[in-house]
Structure 1
């Protein structure tokens, strides 16, 4: 039990990154998915505050509360699209963990690293459920930022991806990304292209990690048997979401209640419906990721089936990773203890 007289443990970004290196994030997010499925973990409704920064770019703050295996907490993740032009990270945030008995905060840690790590871990856990990662030898990247790099780092650590074809709306950002990748991961061949279609058509797996709010990838671009990781949620066009042979989401309730992303708007218009339910003229989502990761997805995936993985983002994964980080920090007696 912890009360307000006990110091609060603070973990800065470098410490969080060091502690995360001791954890298998795919194991943690899979455990969290199965915990939600079994009722041991859960997410609460998210809260979003959106505004326009003085330079006219979009800014927002998201608060994602969750519980995982007896631990309670929340992620606060903020972002401003104008930060890229300022030479700053697009997103920054904090994760707070609470004492189960007193509800007192026990730990506050830098959240951007965990947020990027859990996003990539969810993608890879889902991808691993539909094909062995060792067979993923080529990947198309739409967007050349932190998320793309975090995904590649996790894949490279598992011996996957031998070549990358990258597209970014900013050619200079794509070139800088490619140059840095050649230096830090020389075992991966990388090329950049001027059009996203060239990237998507040439790879069995596409990773979309952009900031777009306008869909631009049609179903015709996706090769047979390919996987489209729709991480940024709005890259895939309507016919991709409605026409791909398999469509997976992380949490249907979160997806369907959101009116800012395409799949949520399709759900609210009655054109997409939850796994296990049918409605006239609606595309039924095939399964949630907990079903996929538990091995209970019953539909056959053929060699030519196109798959879309549409992870809205669940705060339970951030809390699950943060819980592991906090436990490791306590065992190592690391971090800064702050008086209340």
Structure 2
């Protein structure tokens, strides 16, 4: 109860890279635990700034139940203007709490955790929506930032066989950087291209900071095409209505004007949703092969907590966590 540790960012990076091949499996395990009611995952809370509408800080509290319980919160900011200063858009911390006492016992730099869990979630979705196949003729990256880079790395780690990547970004330098990263990671050959080029790929990955849809009719997705709607707000609701639709948690996804939320508002119903990725993994959800399939993961805080606890446990076992002496002012109720 009286011990508090900070896990340095360099240690987190090393652990995540060494264990990259286990990340998708870990995320899928937590998805199934969530599906089985072994998590607590309240709504995210958005702190917005009226004078800076593009900026937000989000609180994601959660608890993982079962044999290895943990509670905590991710506090993550998104300031798109950082990119112009060559800084990452997102920054975050994760706090873990002991389930017996409620005391916080660890603090981690959270942006790396968030990026890896997002990538693992995306690549898991790609595999299951693609008929449990790790093959695609082409992949289109729309948005060439940190999240796209992590997804590209995870595709390579998971052994995907892809012939070509098409990278589209408003910023030419970012597009060229991701193109080079894809090729250096030995994922596939890559080129930069237009939005139309990227949208034509077999596997389409949206990883942008878009606040409202810009991919709208007459644009269509074709049967069998797999679309990862990671940034959640790029796709007009009409396109979702003509597709198979999966998310991580239906209730969570229907808020904050995500594409599924807009589709619900347009139709007054959630009937267009097929279900969750966990339901597909369990065989409880069927996809129509004559439609494209869109995965829209809202991002569950419990995923961040599960990866964070794994990182903390590993760092403690390797004596790489930094103990903060006298972090708690009082450790006894009465001295």
Please report the TM-score for the alignment, with normalisation by the length of structure 1. 0.88
Q: 2:5 aligns with which of 6, 9, 18?
A: 9
Aligned position for 2:232: 233
Q: 1:19 aligns with which of 15, 19, 40?
A: 15
Q: What CA distance in whole angstroms lies between the structure 2 residues aligned with 1:269 and 1:305?
A: 20
Distance 2:33 2:186 in 1: 38
Q: What whole-Å deviation, never above 9, does each CA across 1:283-326 have from its counterpart, x for those lacking one?
A: 431111220122322x2542x42101111111011011111111
Q: Does the 8 Å contact 1:247/1:310 carry over to 2?
A: yes
RMSD: 1.9
Residues 119-172 of structure 1: CA deviation (Å, up to 9, x unaligned): 111111122123334313420000001111100101111221342001012223
How far apart are residue 52 of structure 1 and its match? 5.6
Contact 1:272/1:285 (CA < 8 Å) preserved in 2?
no
SS of the aligned residue for 1:136 comes to strand
Paired residues of 1:57 and 1:82 also in contact (CA < 8 A): no
Corresponding residue pairs, total: 318
Question: In the alignment, which residue of structure 2 is the partner of 1:167?
Answer: 168
Deviations 1:179-214 (A, max 9, x none): 3444x2255211111x2112111x111000001112
- 1:205-260 deviations in whole A, cap 9, x for unaligned? 1000001112122364423210110000111112211111x11111111122x133
2:105 aligned residue: 106
CA contact (8 A) 1:226 1:306 kept: yes
Task: Say whether the 8 Å CA contact 1:200–1:221 is kept in structure 2.
Answer: no
| 1:320/1:186 CA distance change after superposition, 3 Å | closer
Q: Give the deviation of 1:57 after TM superposition.
A: 6.6
Cα pair 1:143 1:167 within 8 Å, conserved = yes
| 1:150 pairs with 2:150 | yes
Contact 1:248 1:309 in 2 (8 A): yes
Q: Secondary structure at the match of 2:241?
A: helix
Structure 2 residue aligned with 1:280: none
2 CA distance for matches of 1:43 and 1:156?
30
**TM-score normalized by structure 2?**
0.89
Task: Report the more deviating stretch, 125-134 or 99-108.
Answer: 125-134
Q: Secondary structure at the match of 1:233?
A: coil
On the 8 A contact 2:238/2:263 being kept in 1, the answer is no
Say whether 1:320 aligns with 2:306: yes
Write out aligned runs for 1:296-315 (5 A).
296-297=284-285, 299-302=286-289, 304-315=290-301
Check 1:106–1:133 CA distance in 2 against 1; reply closer, same or farther (3 A cut). Answer: farther
- 8 Å CA contact 1:126–1:293 kept in 2: the answer is no
Counterpart position of 1:255: 253
* Pair 1:60 & 2:60 matched: no
Q: Which runs of 5+ in 1 are unaligned?
A: 274-282
On the 8 A contact 1:125/1:293 being kept in 2, the answer is: no
Q: Does structure 1 residue 267 correspond to structure 2 residue 264?
A: yes
Indicate if the aligned counterparts of 2:6 and 2:323 stay in contact, CA closer than 8 A.
Answer: yes
Cα deviation, residue 17, structure 1: 1.4
Instruction: Determine the C-alpha separation between the residues in 2 that align with 1:269 and 1:139.
Output: 30
Q: Match for residue 136 of structure 1? A: 136
